[in-house]
Every structure is written in C-alpha cells, then in structure tokens.
Amino acid sequence: MESSSSTTRFKFRDHQDMDASALSDASSVISSLSSDPLDIGDDDDDYDGADDSDLQSMTATGIKHLCSELLELKAASDEEFQENIFANYSAFVRIFEEVEGIENELMKLKNHVSNQKKFVKELVDGIYVKLIVEEAEESVIEDSVSDELNSPSKLKAHINYVSETLDTLLSENRFDEALDIVEIEDENLERLQRRKGSSAGSLKLYNSVIVEGTSVLMLKLRVVAENPRTAAAELQQALSRICRLGNGHLATDLLLKYYNFRIEAGIHSLRSLKSFPWGVYIRELSKFVFSMISQAARSFVMLHGETSPYTSELIQWAQKETEAFTSSFGAYIRSISELSGGLCTVVQSLQFAVSFCSLLEAQKLVLTPYLIQQIHPCMEEALDTYIEHFKKVVAIFTASDSWVLGKYLVSGILVESCTSVFVSDRTEYCLLTNSGRKLMTLLQVHCVAFVIISRIEKFTAT
C-alpha cells in the first residue's frame, strides 16, 4: 500500500501538453516567417538557419523534459525503496526477536533436561544408598536382637513381654497389631534357631508363646468369619488375616460356608413369602442365588487372585449351589396348577434361570450347561404332565362339540407370527368347529413354548 501511495505522488508530464507546447513554438515560428512573405525568396539562407535553430531548440526542450522526468522517477523510486525498508524493518525486527526467544526457550529446555538427568541420577543414587543403609540397619538390628536375646535372662524377659502384649491385643480384638507381632517374633525365632546360641528350652518356650498367640488369633478370626451376621467387608478382612497366617484353605472353606448359609437363608425367606405372582418367584430366586455366587467368586479372587490352587473348590461349591437352586426350581414347577395356564410360566421361569446364570460367565464361571443338565428332567416331567392335560382337554372339547362349522376371523385365531404366513389379502375367515377353534389356540400357545425350550437346549448344547 505504501509503494502504491508513493508512486501516486509521481506523475509523468502529459505528452499531449508537451506536444502542444512544441506545436505552439513551431506555429509561432511559422507565423513569424509567414508574416513577411516577400522576404522569403530574398532571405533563403536566413530561413534555413532559423529553421535549424528552431528544431534544435525543440529537441533540446524535449530532452530537458525527458531528463527532468527521469530524475523525478529516480527520486520517487529512491523514496519508495526507503519507505519499503522502513515499513519492513519492524517486521524484520519482530521476526528476529521471535527467533531469539525460541533460542532462549531451547536453552531453557536443555537446562531443564540436564537438571532432570541430574535429579534422576541423584534419586537413583539415593535409593541405592538407602537400600544399602536399610540392609545394613537390618543386619545391625538382627545382630543386636540376636545379641540381646542370646542372654537367657533377656530372652526370658522378651518372651514374657511378647506373651503379655499378645494377650492384651487379642483381648481388645486388635487383630492387625497382633498379627504384626506374630510375624515379627516368628522371624526373630528363626534367626535365633539359625545362630544356635540359645538354649533349647528357651527356644521351645519362645515357640510355644508364638504358637499359642497364633492359635488364639486364628480362633478369634474364625469366630468372626463364621458369624452369619458379619458384614461382607468385615468377613473379607478376617479371611485376609487368616491367609496371612498361612491357612488359605481354611479361608476358602469359611468363605464358601458363609455364602452357602446366606443362600440357604435367602431361599427359605423367598419360599415363605406368599405374595409373589406366578413367574415372579423364580425370577427373584434366580437373581438372588446367582448374585450370591457372583459375590462369592469376587471375594475368592480378592483372596487368592485369578489363578489359585483353590479354584476347583469354588467351582464345586458353585455347582452344589446350582443343584440347590434346581431343587427349588423343580418344586415350584411341579406346584404349578394344570388349569392355570402354567406351561407359559414354566417357559418363562426357565428363561429367567438361564439368563441370570449366564451372567456368571463374565467371571469365568460357566454354569449354564450344568444348570440345564439339572433342570432337564424336571422340564421333561412338566411337559409330559401338560401333554396328558392337553389330551384330557381335547377329549372334553370333542365330547361337548356340536360339530357345527362356524366362520371365524383368521386374525383372531392365529398368533401374529402365523398370521403373516397363512393369511392372504383374500382369505380373512376360516370354517372351524368350536372344538377346532379351541384346539388351534391351545396348539399355538404351546408350540411357542416348545420352540423356546428347544432353543435354550440347543444354546446350552453348543
């Protein structure tokens, strides 16, 4: 923009003006010559000289004009160049400052990296020195403890102190502190046994105190775990302490017994309630039983991890609880009245059981095939019962039928899935007897039930 403004300040002279001035000069010369025509012939030589001088003056004038224009153009160009330099100088200075700032940031980054390297090196050296110091302190403490306990009197006093401390902590149910003391004193006993500087009687007494404290602690923890009113979080803490004492098998056994008691109590409580409508009882029962199995599996993983030698015990326990559920399921199915339309309730109950059981697969507990295997005899018995019931119903229909054909809407007889297949735009009615209409309705309902059962069995078989 600045260059354009500068160029606008310089304008060439108008060549038309220039030509006009030259023409005016020429016309003046011609007029002067024509004013004295009689002298033309006489002064021929004078006329030629004047003409040459006039042409020279015109050429000189044009050259002067051209030179002046060139000088003005040079001045304008120099001015524009200086203005461009001044205009771009600030941008150049700004870019230079930005580059300088980036260089400063790079230097700071290099210093930061250098400081971090130094810090990491100091940290590593400090940790290494700390580990060496801790090992040295442990060895010194071990030597000092061993030296202190080498004396029979000091060892006896220490044994009495440990016994009294454990009694106090256990009486106050301070299990974690008592467990820490048992672990520490057990290590001290092992050191003394390795050094072989103490008498056998003192070591035996020392060991008996530790064993007695461990036994009392284990007993108290077992009482907490076996209490059915113990909360799940408190149970988990007690079982973790038992595992610290080195008895993982007992912890697993107590865990499974605890959840077995809760499942049995829950089944009994649901059975005693009479407010459940048909089908809702199995839904609540399935939800409760398999959720308890899921909680037991989570607690088991918290105790022993994903891979544990006690996993087979958990699977066997889950299968036993599934059998208990199957027993309640079968009793409920057999209690459904034949006249209450119970086949649909049976199918719905089976769907509830399978769906809740399949949720355990996320915890790597695949119990659905085992559940179907246990339920299969009960389902066969229920189906046989309903087949016999259908035979009786059909006999009643045919015995009381007048065998008069009636005109019935197909959409009112067939279910929706069958209507789309058998019903066309033209066929809207069918001719059936009264017993035939009832039989069609029954067959459709129970065919749907049989299809659902067969699909569930195929799903579990795969």
What percent of the chain has a predicted confidence (pLDDT) above 90? 21
Q: According to the model, what pLDDT value does residue 98 have?
A: 85
Q: What is the mean pLDDT of the chain?
A: 76
Q: Is the pTM of this model over 0.75?
A: no
Residue 398 has pLDDT above 60, yes or no: yes
Can you state the angle between helices 280-304 and 232-244, rounded to 10 degrees? Answer: 30
Residue 197 has pLDDT above 90, yes or no: no
Can you state the angle between helices 232-244 and 175-195, rounded to 10 degrees? Answer: 0
Phi, psi angle pair for 321, to nearest 5° = -65, -35
Q: For residues 457 and 351, is the Cβ–Cβ distance under 8 A?
A: no
What is the b/e burial string over 115-152, where b = at least 16 CB atoms within 10 angstroms of the residue's CB? eeeeeeeeeeeeeeeeeeeeeeeeeeeeeebbeebeee
Q: Where are the domains of the chain?
A: 2-81, 151-226, 248-396, 401-462
Q: According to the model, what pLDDT value does residue 13 have?
A: 47
As a CATH number, domain 151-226 is 1.20.58
Q: Where are the alpha helices (DSSP H) in 151-172?
A: 152-171
CA–CA–CA angle 426, 447, 406 (5° rounding): 40
What pLDDT, in 10s, does the model give residues 274-304?
667 766 888 999 999 999 999 999 999 998 8
What pLDDT, in 10s, does the model give residues 399-447?
777 777 767 666 655 554 444 444 445 557 666 777 776 776 666 655 6
Residue 195 to residues 138, 147, 205, Cα–Cα distance (Å): 16, 10, 17
432 sits in the region (left: phi over 0; alpha: psi -120 to 50; else beta) called: beta
Q: For residues 213 and 178, is the Cβ–Cβ distance under 8 A?
A: yes
